[in-house]
Amino acid sequence: MQTLTLTLLQTATYWHSPARNRTHFETLLDQVPSSSQLVVLPEMFSTGFTMDSALVAESMDGETVKWMLEQARERQKILCGSLAIEEKGQFFNRLLWVQPKGGIQFYDKRHLFRMAGEHQYYSEGARRIVVDLQGWRICLSVCYDLRFPVWLRNNQKYDLLICVANWPEARQDIWQTLLRARAVENQAFCAGVNIVGTDGAGIVYGGGSGIYHGDGKVLVDPEENLSKQKIITQTLDLAELDTMRRAFPVALDADEFILE
């Protein structure tokens, strides 16, 4: 598959209200173009970015995971989004990759946002995850991960970086800068979806979801998606990316290192 059509769902979420959020996202999913193969929901889309992990966390057999499985199957699209998950007495900000045939892969957020105390209420992930979609290699990340280029270093391992977020409006410029930087330095497409509105903790979010080409070209301009609900669909061309990489093979001169 040379092209990939994905949709980003930028919206406000309802604080600590999984059932209400599921209903809301169903309404948005009804508006996703039939051509879209992958739908990306924001970080903690079922509850908002809450530190009440013991209160809101679900299990992998919980209602929101079941809902994602149902929606992926009924719509024949991959669904991707994070939620609070409890597993063996630990809590994770877990990004799920849910396939139409029922398969689930997941990535647990590695970098926990200490300025909100996230590291006190959730456990960090241990592994970076790259999923495959018909020849597309897709790296999964969550919000604060975007600030850490070593963790997201490509090493010619992925073609698209996805970042789901609750990124405050006060740092909107940084959000846009980092999305573009990760695209350029990794010579990969980079897609970021953020929320809008004010959450239950009083934090204001400005949206600014966007998509960048591996050469830094703006494919979906975050400036056109500020402070409003948006359903954003874009088709990416893998052959075009590969042509750029061959013509300008930066990765051949990259420094080698190993994370310990």
Report the catalytic residues: 43, 109, 143
Paired tokens of 145 = 């991960």
Phi first, then psi, for residue 143 (nearest 5°) are 45, -100
Question: How far apart (Å, rounded) are the C-alpha atoms in residues 175 and 4?
Answer: 24
Which residues lie closer than 8 Å to 232 by C-beta, 6 or more apart? 7, 8, 9, 10, 193, 209, 211, 220, 225
Paired tokens of 118 = 């996230």
Q: Are 231 and 32 in contact (CB under 8 A)?
A: yes
Phi first, then psi, for residue 101 (nearest 5°) are -85, 5
The CA-CA-CA angle for residues 15, 232, 79, to 5°, reads: 65
Alpha-carbon distances, residue 216 vs 11, 165, 180, 220 (angstroms): 25, 20, 6, 11
Question: How far apart (Å, rounded) are the C-alpha atoms in residues 129 and 105?
Answer: 9
